[in-house]
Structure 1
Amino acid sequence: MRFDTVIIGGGLAGLLCGIRLSESGQRCAIVSRGQSALGFSSGSLDLLSHLPDGQPVSDVAAAITQLEQHFTAHPYALLGANRVLNYARQAQTLLADCGLRLQGDAETPHQRVTPLGTFRRAWLSPQEVPLKPETTLRTGVVGISGFLDFQPQLAAATLRKRGIDAHAEEIELPALDTLRDNPSEFRAANIARQLDTAEHYTALYQALRPLSEQYQALWLPACFGLMDSIVFDRLNQQLACPLRLLPTLPPSVPGLRMQHLLQQRFVQSGGSWMPGDEVIRADISGDQVTQLWTRKHEDIPLRARHIVLASGSFFSNGLIASRDRVREAVFDLDVLQSDNRSDWYGDDVFACQPWHQFGVQTNARLNGLRHGRALSNLYVIGSVLGGFDPITQGCGGGVCAVTALHAAQQITDQGGEQ
C-alpha cells in the first residue's frame, strides 16, 4: 500500500499532523495501535509552565529563549520561540476547526480548576471547565451518588482553603442504577452514554434545578458530553446559575471527545485510519525508511515518501525499558537517557524523575537519529521525543501540538508526490 505519509500513532500529535497533511492534499494514513493517551487526559493542553530548573514561566517566548541557551535538548529549544508560538496559534485554529470549543491563548495562560479543587496552569481548556474565579461566588460542587471517581467533599474543602466559597452537594440519579450495581462500570464514560440520551435529560435537569437556585455556580464531574456539548449547553440555558464541568479520573469524557472529534476530522479530510494495528518493523536503506511492516498486514508493506513517528512514550509502548537501557520500539532510534540505571530515578517519588525526559533524539528538523545519523524522511513528534518533562514542566500538550505541525510543515514544503 502506498501513501504520501504514514503516521505511526493516533494520539494528539499523530492526529494533528495527519489532519494538517490530509487537508493539504496528501494521501495520509495513521496506524493506531489502540486507545491513545488522549482518553486519559483532562482535555486541557499546557504549553509551558516551568523551566527544567523549576522556575515558573510567565513569558513563554522569554522562557523558550532560556531553553535555547541552557536546555538545548528540549524540543522547543530545537524549534525556537517564534516557531513554537506560531505553531501554537495554528494549533488553536485547527482545534477550533475540528469542533473543539477551547478557552485560552498561547500568550495568556490561565488557571483551571482540577477535580481535587486545586488550580493548574493551562494553555487551552474545554469551554465547560471552570477557571480560577476572580471573585468569590457561592459554588456548589456536586457529586453523583455512588460515583467514586469524584469526591465533592474533598474538592470543596480544598477550594475553601483557597478562598472559594464552595460547598459539597450530591444528587441521586435512579436512571444510573444499572451502572451503579457494578462499580467497575460506574465510570464517567459509561455514565455519559446514559446521560447524553434525550430520555434522561429531564431527570438530570430536575436534580440540578433546586441546587442552581441555591448557588451562584454549579461544578459537576464531567459525566456527559462524550460526543458533543448539547446537554451542557441546554442545562446552561435552563438552570438558574452557570454550570461547569470538572474532568474525572480516566477515562476522561473531555479527553475522549477530543479524540473522537480529531479522528473524525482526519477521516473526513480523506485520511486512512488503521485502528488496532501496529508497525512491528521497518526497512531502512541509507538514510531513508523504505517500507513499514504491520502486524495486521504482515505480507503487505506500507510504502510512503515520509514517515512520522508519533508512537508516544512508555505509556503507549513507544519507548520500551529493559534492565540496562531504554529503546525506541520501531526503528531503534537513538534515545536520550542515562547510562547508569541508578540515575534513571530519584529517591523522592513526588519529585521530578530523570526518566521522564528520556526519549528519541532528533535534529532541528525533527528527523530521528539512528546511530548518530539522521533518517531524512522520518520525523519524530510528540511524547516519544526526549529532552523534556511533560508533567513538571507543564508542556506535554504543547510539545505534541507544536512538533506535529512543524513536521507537517517540513513535509508539505517538500511536496508529497510519489
Structure 2
Amino acid sequence: MKFDTVIVGGGLAGLLCGIRLSRGGQRCAIVSRGQSALSFSSGSLDLLSRLPDGTAVQDTAAGLAALETLAPEHPYSLIGAGRVYQYAREAQSLLAKCGLKFQGDASAPHRRVTPLGMTRPAWLSPPEVPLSPRKGEHICVVGINGFADFQPHLAAATLRKQGLRVTATDIDLPLLDNLRDNPSEFRAVTIARQLDQDSHFAELCAALRPLSETHDAIWFPACFGLTDDKVYTRLNAELACPLYLLPTLPPSVPGMRMQTLLQQQFIRSGGAWMPGDEVLRATLDNNMVSQLWTRRHEDIPLRADHVVLASGSFFSNGLVAGRDGVREKVFGLDVLHSPDRASWYRDNLFDAQPWQQFGVRTDATLRGQLQGETLQNLYVIGSVLGGYDAIHQGCGGGICAVTALHVAQQICAPGGFE
C-alpha cells in the first residue's frame, strides 16, 4: 500500500499532523494500536508553564526565548521561539475547525481548576472548565451519589482554604441505578452514555435546578458530552446560574471527545485510519525508511515518501525501559537518556524526575537519528521526543501540537515556513 505519508500513532500529535497533511493534499495514513493518551487527558492543553529552573512563565514569548538558552535540546528550542508561537496559534485555529471549542490564548497561560480544587496553568481549556473563581461567588460543587471518581467535599475543602465560599453536595439520579449495581461500570464514560440521551435530560436538569437557584455557579463532574456539547449548552440555558464541568479520574470524557472529533476530521479529510494495528518493523535503505511492516498487514508492507513517528512515551509504549537502558520500540532510534540508572529518578516523588526528559534524539528539523545518522524521511513528533519534562515544565499538549504542525509544514513545503 502506497501513501504520501504514514504516521505511526493516533494520539493528539499524530492526528493533528495527519489532519494538516490531508488538508495540504497529502494521501495520509495513521496506524493506531489502540486507545491513546487523550482518553486519559483532562481536555486542557498546556504550552509552557515553567522553565527548567522552575521559574513560572507568565509571558509565553519571553519564556520561549529564555528556553532556548536554558534547554537547547528542548523541542521548542530546536524549532525556534518565533515558530513555536506561530504554530501554537495555527493549532488553535485548526482545533476550532475540527469542532473543538477552547478558551485561552498562546500569549499567556490561564489557571484552570482541577478536580481537587487546586488551580494549574493551561494554554487552552474547554469552555465548560472553570477558571480561577472570583471571591464572593457562592459555588456549589455537586457530585453524583455513589460515583467514587469525583469527590465534591474534597474539592470544596481545598477551595475554602483559598477563601472562597463553597458548598458541596451529592445528587441522586435514579436513571443510573443500573450502573451502581456494578462499581466497575460506574465510571464517567458509562454515565455519559446515559446522560447524553435526550430522554434523560429532564431528570438531570430537575436535580440541578434547585441548586442553581441558591448559588452563583454549579461545578459538576464531566460526566456527559462524549461527542458534543449539546447537553452542557441546554443545561446552561435552563438553569438559573452558570454550570461548569470538572474532569474526573480517567477515562476522561473531555479527552475522549477530543479524540473522537479529531479522528472524525482526519477521516473526513481523506485520511486512512488503521485502528487496532501496530508497526512491528521497518526496512531501511540509504538512511531512508522504505517499508513498514504491521501486525495486521504482515505480508503487505506500507510504503510512503515520508514517515512520522508519533508513538508516545513510556505510557503509550513508544519508549521501553530495560536493564540496559531506554529504547525506541519501532525503529530503534537514538534515545536521549542517562546510562546511569541511579540518575534516572529523584527520591522525592514530587521533584522533577530526570526520566521524564528521556526520548528520541532528533536534529532541528525533527528528523530521527539512528546510530548518529539522520534518517532523511523519518520525522518524530509528540511525547516520544526527548529533551523536555511535560509535567514539570507544563508543555505536553503544546509539544504535541507544535511539533505536529512543524513536521507537517516541512513535508508539505520543504524548506519553507508559512
* TM-score (normalizing by structure 1): 0.98
1:274 maps onto 2:270 in alignment? no
Q: Corresponding residue for 2:290? A: 290
Q: Corresponding residue for 2:341? A: 341
1:141 maps onto 2:141 in alignment? yes
For 1:306 and 1:165, locate their aligned partners in 2 and report how far apart those are by CA, in whole Å.
55
Q: Deviations over 1:249-308 (max 9, x none)?
A: 000000000000000000000000000000000001111100100000000000000000
Q: Corresponding residue for 2:71? A: 71
Q: Corresponding residue for 1:326? A: 326
1:360 maps onto 2:353 in alignment? no
1:381-392 equivalences under 5 Å are 381-392=381-392
Q: Corresponding residue for 2:380? A: 380
The alignment covers a number of residue pairs equal to 415
Q: Contact between 2:59 and 2:108, CA under 8 Å: does it hold in 1?
A: no
Q: Deviations over 1:108-163 (max 9, x none)?
A: 32100000000010000001001102343100000000000000000001011112
1:174 maps onto 2:174 in alignment? yes
Q: CA deviation at 1:70?
A: 2.4
1:3 maps onto 2:18 in alignment? no
Gaps of 5+ in 1: none
Q: Deviations over 1:149-190 (max 9, x none)?
A: 000000001011112211101100000011111111000000
Q: CA deviation at 1:351?
A: 1.1
For 1:403 and 1:309, locate their aligned partners in 2 and report how far apart those are by CA, in whole Å.
11
List, as ranges, runs of 4+ consecutive aligned residues in structure 1 with deviation greater than 2 Å: none
Q: Corresponding residue for 1:34? A: 34
For 1:26 and 1:230, locate their aligned partners in 2 and report how far apart those are by CA, in whole Å.
33
Give the letter aligned to residue 385 of structure 2: L
For 2:374 and 2:183, locate their aligned partners in 1 and report how far apart those are by CA, in whole Å.
50
For 1:205 and 1:144, locate their aligned partners in 2 and report how far apart those are by CA, in whole Å.
13
Q: CA deviation at 1:344?
A: 0.8
Q: Contact between 1:333 and 1:368, CA under 8 Å: does it hold in 2?
A: yes
Q: Contact between 1:16 and 1:262, CA under 8 Å: does it hold in 2?
A: yes
The sequence identity of aligned pairs, in percent, is 68
Q: Contact between 2:290 and 2:304, CA under 8 Å: does it hold in 1?
A: yes
Q: Deviations over 1:70-95 (max 9, x none)?
A: 21110001011100000000000000
Give the letter aligned to residue 6 of structure 2: V
Matched residue SS, 1:115 = coil
RMSD over aligned CA atoms reads 0.9
Q: Corresponding residue for 2:233? A: 233
Give the letter aligned to residue 162 of structure 2: R
Gaps of 5+ in 2: none
1:85-96 equivalences under 5 Å are 85-96=85-96
Q: Contact between 1:136 and 1:163, CA under 8 Å: does it hold in 2?
A: no
Matched residue SS, 2:169 = strand
For 1:181 and 1:103, locate their aligned partners in 2 and report how far apart those are by CA, in whole Å.
38
Matched residue SS, 1:330 = coil
Q: Corresponding residue for 2:245? A: 245
Q: Corresponding residue for 2:156? A: 156
Q: Corresponding residue for 1:107? A: 107
Give the letter aligned to residue 89 of structure 2: R
